[in-house]
Structure 1
Amino acid sequence: MEWRLFANLGEAAGTKHVEVPAEAGDTFGEAFEQLLSAHPELEDEVLDENGEIRDHIRVLRNDHNPFVKDDGYDTILEEGDELALFPPVSGGSR
């Protein structure tokens, strides 16, 4: 399974694409733990002091937030799922 990391998250990890050993049938939480295990430097960027995903970080599974549409960390991954982390996005100039 591959994670896509955007903006400063990709910079912190040193790559914009991270392969993790999660596969179909595993949970989103397992894939997320594998990402942080592979790149612990992301923890300060994405987790708050309680170990929860920071409010401003956007997590996507197939273009939607698994904590809104699915079962959060317990979401079962399917073949071909796309996982991504986004930092806050600010507007452009006028």
Structure 2
Amino acid sequence: MSDSTDVNACHREVLELLPWVINGRASVEERSMVEVHLRECEDCRTEYQFQSALFAKMNNGQVLEPDAARGLERFWERIDQAARATIPALPR
């Protein structure tokens, strides 16, 4: 592989990892690799700053976690609704 292909692959990988680094879900190794690259690449640093600002505005600075219990409750409600819609009423 040529040097330019290696550089392009590295940029692509960093750009794909930026959202995960910003939202805190990247692994330690991924974060480290991105941080090293950002020290050397102004274009990727600019993109990192843009995505960081966007993330902060979307979340008001808070990282939101999914409410698994509420999601499960809604799932069971949908199953119950589907069951009621497909099961005929018993004759009286």
Task: Assess same fold via TM > 0.5.
Answer: no
**More helix by percentage:** 2
Higher relative contact order, chain-length normalized (CA < 8 Å, sep 6+): 1
Normalised to the residue count of structure 2, the TM-score between the two structures is 0.30
Answer with 1 or 2: which has the greater Rg: 2
**More strand by percentage:** 1
